[in-house]
Structure 1
């Protein structure tokens, strides 16, 4: 976690310097752990009344299937569940801000199809094919969210 904290601190310093905005802040969490995501959402709510933008840009690919402590496959947890949890936990603070944006980064154009019978790579190859499937699922979730909101 120290490496992430240093990277976050350096990014904050660079953004503050480049934008002349001393209100730039960072929070870090393990996006593969649901309790960390809930804690992160609580921290955001506690520090900030409303948010104009939520950017989900985490991307994880694994060489082999590794379940998280919550039982989800790691890439699926980081690439699909994490944005879902954060969006839904922070939606009340986002909806008060105008205009509001939720940006989900998918990293290029994933070339895959969503296999609803194998969302977490239990019966298929892991690695890049599962990564592409999870990012495609994130795209589908983004479109559905946009239609609903």
Structure 2
């Protein structure tokens, strides 16, 4: 498990993989004002991309924006305000954004939450699920027309977690059991992201869009400190930095698509297994179609 914290894999990393410049590429990063999202946005801005930071909080978003512009010298960094827990807000953001008529080369679904208590959004969804699953699903589906404009180079990268290894795919998306457990729900959400990525790769394989999910390793981010305080304290100094967590996201953005496998799960710049032996999760992906059906109807509930 230690490699999930600080990795020995890096001795096999090729520095030239990260030396690619991507001017003219439009990249959207959700949850970009702190942690892995911020480190990803900064890394892409440094390489010349036009980066759109999608943040819920305007003040934090503006602070991140000006810091990235200052640190990278790249002025093609823009802020978009959108609460990823709301289907309505995602719909209005994507419709606003579509009017710009720009191709989207890379969509990075990074925004995530681990809320320990059961919280219901104003739209009636359990909060972890609303952000991690329904928000990711809605944003990706609504961005497909703009991703198609960037074909054959378009890609969607979803930041999942090794937490998903413990959890099979389940149809109980909003955790109907009475004894709500945020950590278990988070693991389930992250499993859905892996299965969705697999499904999207099949559905859109002829559209020139590649779909990848990845595990950043355990990084010391504001999100981890807030949602898992005792874990954060216990492993203080042993966890990865946000930059180390963002490394594979940036790597997936920069690699030629021929080197990548659409639908695959990546860890430390390499394809990783989606299931651990004896964990009993491997047959669970068979129910993905019914999960997608539920998500589709939930995303259409409002408007």
TM-score bin (small chain):
0.7 to 0.9
Aligned pairs (5 A) from 1:1-149: 4-98=57-151, 99-110=153-164, 111-116=166-171, 118-123=172-177, 125-149=180-204
Task: Name which structure has the greater RCO, CA cutoff 8 Å, separation 6+.
Answer: 1
Show CA shifts across 1:16-63 (max 9, x none): 233332111111211111111111112221235211111111111222
TM-score after normalising by structure 1: 0.88
Indicate conservation of the 8 Å contact 1:65/1:121, yes or no.
Answer: no
Where 1:26 maps in the other structure, the secondary structure is strand
- Residue correspondences, number: 147
Moved more, 13-22 or 29-38: 13-22
Unaligned runs of 5+ in 1: none
Moved more, 63-72 or 97-106: 63-72
CA RMSD of aligned residues (A): 2.0
TM-score after normalising by structure 2: 0.45
If each structure's strand is expressed as a fraction of its own residues, which one has the higher value?
2
Unaligned runs of 5+ in 2: 1-55, 205-303
Flag the 1:135–1:12 CA change in 2: closer, same or farther, 3 A: same
Flag the 1:23–1:48 CA change in 2: closer, same or farther, 3 A: farther
Runs of 4+ in 1 over 3 A off after TM superposition: none
Higher alpha-carbon Rg: 2
